[in-house]
Structure 1
Amino acid sequence: MTGRQEALALVPVLEEQEHRLTLGRFTHEDAWRLGGLLRELSLERQAPVAITILRGPQRLFHCALPGSSTDNDEWLARKCRVVERYAESSYLVGTRFRAKGTTFEESSRLAPDRYAAHGGAFPLRVDGVGVIGAAAVSGLRQAEDHALVVTALERLIA
């Protein structure tokens, strides 16, 4: 299977996750709970990640675990800008470009030092409101960063 074929197969999976992981609300307390879940999952996996949760431009939670660096903070900002611009996960946006046979960097016409369509930033979508922010992880391979956020959101919603 080619990279393009893999991307074509992955797009509906990522779309389903975003549809399924819509929240009924999102408060400061929810941000703290989600951040704590992400931190716990990361510590269990000994993942050297940085974590951030944004509502609009306000950072409600941030945590840097051992092994992460300021580079991870920059990746978080770039991935979250993709969520803000496209109202979709950074992984889905990058995968859509790959499914078209190109890359985000080649075809988006956005500055790569400001935007990164790599997995790890997931939209916080509230029923009847839309995307109000993002939860993001940086430090692992993009599919693993994305999966970590999905797992935490699934637990938050459960």
Structure 2
Amino acid sequence: MSALPATAGEIADLLAQQNRLELPTYTHDDAWDLGSTLVRLAREADAPVAIDLRRGLQQVFHAALPGSTADNDDWLARKRRVVERYGESSLLVGTRFRAKGTTFEDASRLDPSRYAAHGGVLPILVRGVSGPVGTIGVSGLPQVEDHALVVATLEEYLAGR
């Protein structure tokens, strides 16, 4: 994603991507499997990321890979709050603001020390359940790469089910 205003096509693509990544279930065991898959993919990419999975508001998986820092945990929390508030991926929320010709920081009226609409956290959606049931996210790479790593994890997880 560039700093240029986003297009309706980018928004539609991100929304379609998010919706096709619905899980059949999301239990504590599913969170462990997803988190473990995310750790493996991050290690294979030598990605210095922190990883967070939530079920509701409960943290059910966390990992901090070599090269990540406490700042990554802070970014994860800020991006996660955006997903919890808007029900959409942190990248999609930021993209929607850019499509309006503004930024999340300028137009959301939310404290930027608590909220960041940067890519890397997606809602956990379960087929047949209305709204997100949790979140999955990473921080440590550029925002589009953070987002792509989470998407790749969900795609691989769903392909194996």
TM bracket, shorter-chain basis: over 0.9
Alpha-carbon separation, structure 1, partners of 2:139 and 2:148: 11
Alpha-carbon separation, structure 1, partners of 2:27 and 2:138: 20
Identity within the alignment, % = 59
Aligned to 1:156: 157
Alpha-carbon separation, structure 2, partners of 1:82 and 1:41: 25
Q: Tell me by how many angstroms 1:12 deviates.
A: 1.2
Q: Tell me by how many angstroms 1:2 deviates.
A: 7.5
Q: Tell me by how many angstroms 1:23 deviates.
A: 1.2
Q: Tell me by how many angstroms 1:9 deviates.
A: 3.3
What secondary structure does 2:132 align onto? strand
Larger mean Cα displacement after TM superposition, 125-134 or 104-113: 125-134
The letter for the 2-side match of 1:156 is Y
Q: Tell me by how many angstroms 1:57 deviates.
A: 1.1
Q: How does 1:20-59 map to 2 (within 5 A)?
A: 20-59=20-59
Alpha-carbon separation, structure 2, partners of 1:58 and 1:43: 25
Structure 2: which 5+ residue stretches go unaligned? none
Q: Tell me by how many angstroms 1:127 deviates.
A: 1.6
Alpha-carbon separation, structure 2, partners of 1:91 and 1:137: 12
Per-residue CA deviations over 1:133-154 (Å, capped at 9, x if unaligned) read 1000000000000000000001
The letter for the 1-side match of 2:136 is A
Aligned to 1:143: 144
Aligned to 1:17: 17
Aligned to 1:112: 112
Per-residue CA deviations over 1:2-26 (Å, capped at 9, x if unaligned) read 811x444321110111110011110
- Find runs of 4+ consecutive structure 1 residues off by over 4 angstroms: none
Alpha-carbon separation, structure 2, partners of 1:139 and 1:7: 26
Q: CA RMSD in A?
A: 1.3
Aligned to 1:82: 82
Aligned to 1:125: 125
Structure 1: which 5+ residue stretches go unaligned? none
Alpha-carbon separation, structure 1, partners of 2:118 and 2:37: 22
Taking structure 1 as the reference length, the TM-score comes to 0.96
Alpha-carbon separation, structure 2, partners of 1:57 and 1:70: 20
Query: Are 1:73 and 2:73 an aligned pair?
Result: yes
Structure 1 residues 68, 2: closer, same or farther in 2, change over 3 A? closer
Alpha-carbon separation, structure 1, partners of 2:7 and 2:26: 31
The letter for the 1-side match of 2:78 is R
What secondary structure does 1:67 align onto? coil
What secondary structure does 2:133 align onto? strand
**Aligned pair count?**
157
The letter for the 2-side match of 1:73 is D
